[in-house]
């Protein structure tokens, strides 16, 4: 059994953990260490519509 620790559950950490999950054996363990309980997928921010920066 192998244990793989991925530190940081941001864009790279989530992508790596997902790929590793498909590549390793069932008995292997992947641990994702991330202090936050949420993640904004920032590479998709460009798909958001622009908003005015002025506030009334």
Ligand X SMILES: Cc1cc2nc3c(=O)[nH]c(=O)nc-3n(C[C@H](O)[C@H](O)[C@H](O)COP(=O)(O)OP(=O)(O)OC[C@H]3O[C@@H](n4cnc5c(N)ncnc54)[C@H](O)[C@@H]3O)c2cc1C
Q: Which parts of 9-38 interact with ligand X (CB under 6 A)?
A: 9-13, 33-36
Nearer to ligand X (CB atom), residue 26 or residue 38: 38
Which residues are within 8 A (CB) of 29 and not within 5 positions of it... i.e. 6 or more apart?
1, 2, 3, 4
Nearer to ligand X (CB atom), residue 8 or residue 20: 8
**d(C-alpha 30, C-alpha 24), whole Å:** 9
**Three-state DSSP class for residue 2:** coil
Nearer to ligand X (CB atom), residue 35 or residue 49: 35
Which residues lie near ligand X (CB under 6 A)? Answer: 7-13, 33-36, 39, 42-43, 45-46
């Amino acid at each position: 059994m192998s244990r793989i620790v991925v530190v940081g559950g941001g864009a790279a950490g989530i992508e790596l953990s997902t790929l590793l999950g498909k590549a390793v054996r069932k008995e292997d363990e992947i641990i994702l260490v991330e202090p936050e309980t949420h993640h904004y997928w920032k590479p998709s921010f460009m798909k958001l519509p622009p908003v005015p920066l002025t506030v009334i």
